[in-house]
Amino acid sequence: MKRLSTAIVGVWLCSGFFSSGVVQAAEKYPVKPITCIVAVEAGGDGDVLVRPIMERVSKMLGQPIVIVNKPGAGSSIGYRELHGAKPDGYTLGWGSATIITNKLQGVSPLDYHDFTQLGAYATFFPIVIGSTKSQVQFKTIQEAIKYAKANPGKLNMSTAGVGQSWWVAAMSFLGGTGIKVNTIPQPGAGALVVAQVAGGHAELGVAAMGSAKSMVESGQVKFLATLGEGRAPAPYDKIPTVRELGYDVSWESTNFLMGPPKMPKEIVTILVNAIEKAAKDPEYIKFATARNTRWEYIPPGNVIPAFDKRRKAVREIMSKAGILKEAK
């Protein structure tokens, strides 16, 4: 009986110690380095923006955060690896609008619903540019829309490749304004579009602000409008969005952080608080704005509703274009 009592006490003590250890481990998270999977190449826009966020989070958590770039297949390779990681808080990942377009194009069965959202921190936005060398030129986006409506099919518009994010932006612009132009898809998403417009081969183009900025500053192309939800930062804040002119047009690529599904709430809370603080650091806001993004912090609970709205618009655009192949 005495031996049995001793055994029970021993089991109770071990059980108590183990439970205490689990609690302490959770309270101490993180206790080892964290990996952040970035599904674009090193030096890409998304990579450049997420690194300073992770540096700040690393300092707050007291552990190194190692960036691992996993580009390819529209970022779906990196997304897939993140989705399959252990939900223990030691593998995080970057995301962008490709997580919406991938599933709708049949590239991947995963989208933003399949991950633990940790918050968004900056948004890349497309702009409409006009040529300063073509025979027909425009001073404002209103002039361009008016001309295109009066002369359907006479203007050329350079766009990103079919199905890519900025191609979606261009289709949103055309559909929302009701104009008809000849679209000229390019194999890239930025530089080639700008080159086409700068050379006068297309009167209009849709490209990222970052891709067009140097040509805008040199006067080789004209910045006509923003296709995002808000205006560009100064000195371009006087240029309107197409939406504010009364057209239902909007497309952006928000950069956000996420984790594998079913992460523990306690760990999620720690990460979300650190990411929010990092994103709201004045120095980071300055850094992001200087890299042609619109800074904004979106808490995890607002990410999915915002993306659901964008997904609905993209689904309609891809359906009309005959490229909707939604993965199941």
Residue 295: both structure tokens together: 């800074």
Query: Greater confidence, 179 or 235?
Result: 179
Q: What total number of domains does the chain contain? A: 2
Q: Are residues 236 and 268 in the same domain?
A: no
For residue 81, the number of C-alpha atoms closer than 13 Å in the C-beta half-sphere is 19
Indicate whether 1 belongs to any domain: no
Longest CA–CA separation in the chain, Å: 101
Q: Are residues 83 and 135 in the same domain?
A: no
CB 195 within 8 A of CB 221: no
Query: Greater confidence, 263 or 326?
Result: 263
Order of strands across the sheet that contains 126-131: 182-185, 156-159, 204-208, 126-131, 221-226
Q: Are residues 64 and 112 in the same domain?
A: yes
For 207-234, what is the mean pLDDT? Answer: 91
Q: Are residues 152 and 205 in the same domain?
A: yes
pLDDT score at 37: 98
**Which neighbouring-strand residues pair with 66?**
35
**Weakest mean pLDDT among 16-30, 93-107, 182-196, 210-224:** 16-30
Per-residue H/E/C for 203-239: CEEEEEHHHHHHHHHHCCEEEEEECCCCCCCCCCCCC
Rounded to an integer, what distance in angstroms lies between the CA atom of residue 116 and that of residue 144?
42
pLDDT score at 21: 38
For 315-321, what is the mean pLDDT? Answer: 89
| pLDDT tier at 189, thresholds 50, 70, 90 | low
Q: Are residues 274 and 206 in the same domain?
A: no
Q: Are residues 73 and 103 in the same domain?
A: yes
pLDDT at 66 over 90: yes
Indicate whether 107 belongs to any domain: yes
In this prediction, what percent of the chain has a pLDDT beyond 90?
A: 69
pLDDT score at 188: 62
For 183-204, what is the mean pLDDT? Answer: 89
Indicate whether 183 belongs to any domain: yes
Average predicted confidence (pLDDT) for the chain: 89
Indicate whether 288 belongs to any domain: yes
Rounded to an integer, what distance in angstroms lies between the CA atom of residue 32 and that of residue 54?
15
By three-state DSSP, how is residue 121 classified? Answer: strand
Overall size of the chain counted in residues: 328
pLDDT score at 89: 98
Q: In this predicted model, what pLDDT tens digit does every residue of 239-256 receive, in sequence order? A: 999 999 999 888 889 999
Instruction: Pick the last residue of a domain from 192, 214, 245.
Output: 245
**Which neighbouring-strand residues pair with 134?**
none
Closest to 193 measured CA to CA, from 174, 165, 230? 165
Query: Greater confidence, 17 or 288?
Result: 288
| pLDDT tier at 187, thresholds 50, 70, 90 | confident
pLDDT at 14 over 70: no
Query: Greater confidence, 35 or 22?
Result: 35
Indicate whether 21 belongs to any domain: no
Indicate whether 6 belongs to any domain: no
CB 112 within 8 A of CB 82: no
Q: Are residues 291 and 220 in the same domain?
A: no
Q: Are residues 152 and 168 in the same domain?
A: yes
pLDDT at 26 over 70: no
CATH of the domain at 237: 3.40.190.10
The one-character DSSP state at 240 is P
Q: Are residues 115 and 132 in the same domain?
A: no
Rounded to an integer, what distance in angstroms lies between the CA atom of residue 190 and that of residue 160?
7
Rounded to an integer, what distance in angstroms lies between the CA atom of residue 146 and that of residue 154?
12
pLDDT at 122 over 80: yes
Instruction: Pick the last residue of a domain from 180, 211, 245.
Output: 245
Rounded to an integer, what distance in angstroms lies between the CA atom of residue 214 and that of residue 259?
36
What percent of the chain is helix, strand and coil (3-state, nearest 5)? 45, 20, 35
Rounded to an integer, what distance in angstroms lies between the CA atom of residue 150 and that of residue 55?
52
DSSP 35-101: EEEESS-TTSHHHHHHHHHHHHHHHHHTS-EEEEE---GGGHHHHHHHHTS-SSSSEEEEE-THHHH
For residue 181, the number of C-alpha atoms closer than 13 Å in the C-beta half-sphere is 26
**Which neighbouring-strand residues pair with 156?**
182
Q: Are residues 82 and 142 in the same domain?
A: no
| pLDDT tier at 180, thresholds 50, 70, 90 | very high
For 257-279, what is the mean pLDDT? Answer: 98
Q: In this predicted model, what pLDDT tens digit does every residue of 162-175 receive, in sequence order? A: 888 889 999 999 99
pTM summary value: 0.81
Indicate whether 87 belongs to any domain: yes
Domain that holds residue 149: 126-245
CATH of the domain at 52: 3.40.190.150
Rounded to an integer, what distance in angstroms lies between the CA atom of residue 178 and that of residue 87?
46
Q: Which residues contact 315 (CB under 8 A, 6 or more apart)?
A: 104, 324, 326
Rounded to an integer, what distance in angstroms lies between the CA atom of residue 172 and that of residue 170?
5
For 222-237, what is the mean pLDDT? Answer: 91
Rounded to an integer, what distance in angstroms lies between the CA atom of residue 86 and that of residue 190?
36
Q: Are residues 112 and 175 in the same domain?
A: no
Q: Are residues 159 and 100 in the same domain?
A: no
Indicate whether 11 belongs to any domain: no
Instruction: Pick the last residue of a domain from 220, 245, 270.
Output: 245
Q: In this predicted model, what pLDDT tens digit does every residue of 37-62 receive, in sequence order? A: 999 889 888 999 999 999 999 999 99
